[in-house]
Chain A
Amino acid sequence: MDTVSFPWLPSAASTTAADVDALFNFILFAGLAFFLIVTAGVIAFVLRHRRRGKAGLTYGKDHSLALEITWTVIPVILIVIVFVWGFKGYMRMNVVPHGALEIKVTAQKWFWTFDHPDGANAVNELVVPVGKPVKLLMSSADVIHSFFVPNFRVKMDVLPNRYTVTWFEATAEGVYPLYCAEYCGKGHSEMLAAVRVVSDSSYQAWLNANSVMGAGLTLEQYGAQLYTTKACVTCHSLDGTAKDGPSFKGRFGTEILLSDGSRLLMDENYMRESILDPRAKMANGFQPVMPTFQGILKDRQIDALIAYIKSLNQK
């Protein structure tokens, strides 16, 4: 169901998007007509009735029932059309079709976690099959975030105290940006993710690959993968620049300064603790903004990350 979108809307890639775009265009052109009427009136009257010399007495008629009814009734009719059309579209967005694939979405400062039904999970990348309705059951671990995929015309707030639900059915394979649309603090503009729409078979392959926890890779290689896919990269650089967290470069095995002034050797146990309980021993000069990865990372994944960070010292 492809319709032509107005050039300034992003390409439509979900089953509900086309209807939204059609309504958007309807309002746009009806609105444009109104704007042109107003503008034409202003310009015409300024040109025709421009004051020349003394103002004098002017035309006194100050009402016209016919005119006033016309300019009330026509907008009311248009408004009713738009209201009903918009409500119907909204209901379609809110009623999840039966048999939708259910994915649990967790938002927290400042990344997204997607848990698929068979145990595979991913951070900042939502992989879904094309042509299948996908239901998102969403909650937040801290403040309010908002799940926003412009190409799908889908947006829903993600709250800390209750589940919210939205759904979409992607119509074309591809990678679509996913933004956090509700202001959530320092990392708000970096809380970026992507929806990767793939064929059904690729989706199954992806599920398999991600459920076996890096089988066939060395711990280091698997850790290198996790560094990006679990969003460590958002706050920890590899080149020595400090972002929201310290860089991993050349840090393992050194003495680090903690925020309480004490010093500590950065070893495997400290790393494990920092992943599971990041605020227990804060590195000096950083804000306690890292969330716990308890429940998100499995033991083997933590092992892999530690192995990877260790390996950074040898390069």
Chain B
Amino acid sequence: MYTGPENSYLKQPRGLKSWLLTLDHKRIGVMYLTAIMFFFLVGGLLAVLMRVELSSPARDVVSAELYNRLFTLHGAIMIFMFIIPSIPAAIGNFVLPLMIGAKDVAFPRLNLASWYIYVVGSLIAVASILQGGVDTGWTFYTPYSTSTNSAVITLTFGAFVLGFSSIFTGLNFIVTIHKMRAPGMTWFKMPLMVWGLYATAIIQVLATPVLGITLVLLIFERLFGIGIFDPAMGGDPVLYQHFFWFYSHPAVYIMILPGMAIISELIATFSHKRIFGYKAIAFSSLGIALVSFLVWGHHMFTSGQSELAAMIFSFLTFLVGIPSGIKIFNWVATMYRGSISLKTPMLYAIAFLLLFTIGGLTGIFLGTLAVDVHLHDTYFIVAHFHYVMMGGTVMALLGGIHYWWPKMWGKMYNETWGRITAVLVFVGFNVAFFTQFIMGSQGMPRRYYSYPDQFAFLHEVSSVGAYILGFGFLIMVIYLIHSLYRGKPAARNPWGALTMEWEAASPPTTHNFDKDMKLEHGPYDFDRVEVEDEEMVKA
């Protein structure tokens, strides 16, 4: 495998030990990327298994018990082990210091620790499979989760440990962004990726402890019979839902804000255009982060909470939707009079624009009290969630992986295969999930492993979409791995971008830059800075 010049971070120092004990943010980013992509494939495989079962109404391929374990594990892996760490810990770790012209993050040892905590937490969570799996759903709703005899304690303890990894990353990024920016990079000269990671980090640090506390309470209830949530012991199951969503709703923004952050970079670079409404995008990230703490009750409109509470949560939910809408308009406006190049990362950015818009707009249905009553806990929710998280965050992640791939490995992936796959993924995704909006509107409840015949056709179509999606990812794995061995060497700045990471070598040297960096132009000054065309590799 070609890994760039002799002094690239991939080559120096050598040996397994140098990787396992590395303090280099780039190596830690690469280790995170490997781990999360592994879990993404595992979680995806579980999803395909579920779609196989659901392709016909009868119970045929898996039993009810196994199906319940599949969707629980799919959710837990995708949320806790894949999507939360995906962009911040994998991509963010790699690019954040490079983007602000720093040599590393503020606390390199804490950074390595967070990776190990992530691995340990994931192993604990995976160990629950050996104990027979968990059948509660990733939300662990009480009192079902306190009464089932499956391995709830192990999985929740895994999620508890994973939380620390997330907090450490967030803490590290906040300090890094405050203290390590290159001279001249004022707050409003930072790339929007950095703003997005900053807003995310705030939520990671402030919200994650609540999840930790909640899961510990749940574990205590099961282990020591302390009645907190279980009514049989004098507890209140709805209290659990409040605690859980107090974290898990902001967590949705831990997942989407970094996706939005990547999209700002992709659209600016591939439109070759000064980004429209820089401050609006930056402030809307912070606005979303703050309001996101106050909307959790919209998961509970049918839980019997008071009408007043429901009204307030509905209102605040709409409030948090506005900044997301503004961002969409800003991105589209950025493309106006640009010089648009439809490379693979841009295709994913466009996929994000369309899919996230659908995801956001369907959120309006769910934030609306009277309509949510009908749609709550149906496939409409499942579809909405996947449009936001997969159509949003995962599309951004895939765009980001392709965008920074040359920087990470010093290799170009195959553009043709990249584009074909992007189209396959886009089509497969829509076939798989748009059908679920229709099913949900018709009343198909979620978490059913067998279902009335009237839904058979749509389920079958949805399953076909999932297979197309799975096939797309298979191709991606092949061409990305192939590129590491056979890809063309990448130029320093193959996309003609203006952010600082492109001034480092591809792949960067261990200390990132050969000189002390200082800001010479804004991140999106495409109207006044001419970048050298480096599409062609200089040998």
Contacts and interface: CB of A to CB of B under 8 A. Distances in A.
Interface string B470-502: 000000000000000000000000001000000
A154 interface: yes
A86 B371 contact: yes
Nearest to A151: B443
A90 B361 CA distance: 20
A62 B373 contact: no
A177 B452 contact: yes
Interface stretch (A66-74, A116-124, A127-135, A195-203): A66-74
B378 interface: yes
Contacts of A51: 272, 339-341
A85 interface: yes
A60 B528 contact: yes
Given A49-B339, A55-B496, A159-B238, A189 B314 contact: no
B249 to A, nearest CB: 18
A261 interface: no
A162 B231 CA distance: 9
A63 B314 contact: no
A151 B6 CA distance: 68
B374 A20 contact: yes
A9 to B, nearest CB: 5
A143 interface: yes
Nearest to B439: A8
A192 B329 CA distance: 44
B365 interface: yes
B278 interface: yes
B350 interface: yes
A75 B302 contact: no
A49 B370 contact: no
A90 B373 contact: yes
Interface stretch (B136-144, B409-417, B421-429): B136-144
Given A56-B339, A160-B231, A63 B276 contact: yes
A268 interface: no
B370 A20 contact: yes
B353 A38 contact: yes
Contacts, number: 266
A42 B354 contact: yes
B328 interface: yes
Interface string A29-70: 001001100110110011001110011111111110001100
A310 interface: no
A31 B376 CA distance: 19
Given A55-B496, A82-B368, A90-B310, A71 B147 contact: no
Contact of A86 (B333, B338, B370, B450): B370
Interface string A275-312: 00000000000000000000000000000000000000
Contact of B354 (A38, A50, A60, A179): A38
A12 to B, nearest CB: 10
Interface string A76-112: 1001001101111111111000000000000000000
B236, B336, B442, B528 — most chain A CB neighbours (10 Å): B336
B52 interface: no
A236 interface: no
A24 interface: yes
Interface stretch (B86-94, B167-175, B319-327, B460-468): B319-327
Contacts of B354: 35, 38-39, 42
Nearest to B306: A94
Interface residues of B, number: 92
A57 B141 contact: no
B370 to A, nearest CB: 3
Contacts of B304: 156-157, 159, 162, 164
Given A59-B338, A86-B369, A9 B148 contact: no
B273 A42 contact: no
A188 interface: yes
A42 B442 contact: no
B339 A63 contact: no
B184 interface: no
Nearest to A35: B357
A186 interface: yes
A148 B445 contact: yes
B377 A146 contact: yes
Given A20-B370, A24-B365, A83-B368, A189 B450 contact: yes
Given A54-B533, A59-B337, A90-B310, A154 B448 contact: no
Nearest to A160: B231
Contacts of B62: none
Contact of B274 (A62, A68, A86): A62
B448 A189 contact: yes
Contact of A42 (B277, B302, B332, B527): B332
A185 interface: yes
Given A144-B144, A186-B65, A188-B448, A71 B238 contact: no
Contact of A159 (B232, B237, B318, B339): B237
A31 B335 contact: no
Contacts of A272: none
B237 A45 contact: no
Contacts of A50: 340-342
Interface in B285-328: 301-304, 307, 310-311, 314-315, 318, 321-322, 325-326, 328
A230 interface: no
B449 interface: yes
Contacts of B273: 58-59
Given A49-B271, A51-B339, A79-B321, A189 B328 contact: no
Given A20-B374, A49-B338, A186-B68, A42 B353 contact: yes
B47 to A, nearest CB: 17
Contacts of B385: none
A106 to B, nearest CB: 15
Interface string B435-464: 000100111011111111000000000000
4 pairs of A and B residues whose beta carbons are closest in the complex: A150-B443, A89-B370, A60-B527, A161-B231
Interface of A: 6, 8-10, 16, 19-20, 23-24, 27-28, 31, 34-35, 38-39, 41-42, 45-46, 49-51, 54-63, 67-68, 71-72, 75-76, 79, 82-83, 85-94, 142-144, 146, 148, 150-151, 153-157, 159-162, 164, 177, 179-190, 192
27 contacts: A6-B441, A24-B374, A31-B361, A34-B325, A42-B354, A49-B336, A49-B337, A55-B272, A62-B274, A68-B326, A71-B325, A75-B322, A79-B318, A83-B367, A85-B370, A86-B369, A86-B372, A87-B311, A90-B310, A144-B141, A151-B443, A160-B231, A161-B231, A183-B141, A183-B144, A189-B447, A190-B450
